[in-house]
Amino acid sequence: MATFPGNPSMAQRIGRLLPTLTRSHRQMADYVLAHPLQAATMPIDELAATLGVSVATANRFARALEFEGYPQFRAALVLGFEATLAPVEKLRNKLEHSATVADVFASALAQSQRNIELTRQALDAQSCEQAVAAILKARRIYIAGFGSSSWLGGLLQRSLDPYCDNVQLLASVESSSYGARLLARLKPEDLLIAIAYPRYFSDTILLARRAHDAGVPVLALTDRVTSPLAPLASVALYAHTESQYFANSEATVLALIEALCSAVAHSAKDSLKAATQLAESVLPWLHGNHASRLRADADAAAPAPRTARTPPKSPKVSK
| Model confidence, pTM | 0.66
- Burial, 88: exposed, middle or buried (Cβ in 10 Å; 0-12, 13-18, 19+)? middle
**Count of CA atoms in the C-beta half-sphere (13 A) of 307:** 4
Q: Identify the segments of the chain with pLDDT beneath 50.
A: 1-8, 319
Residue boundaries of the structural domains of the chain: 8-85, 109-269
Which CATH number, 1.10.4080.10, 1.10.540.10, 1.10.260.30, 1.10.10.10, labels domain 8-85? 1.10.10.10
| Distant-in-sequence contacts of 223-228, Cβ < 8 A, 24+ apart | 223/197, 223/198, 223/248, 227/196, 227/197, 227/200, 228/196, 228/200
Helix, strand or coil, per DSSP, at residue 153: helix
In this predicted structure, what is the pLDDT of residue 3? 41
Provide the phi-psi class of 147: left if phi over 0, else alpha when psi is between -120 and 50, else beta.
left
Does domain 109-269 fall under CATH 3.40.50.300? My reply is no
What whole-number distance in Å separates Cα of residue 37 and Cα of residue 33? 9
Write down the pLDDT at residue 86: 64
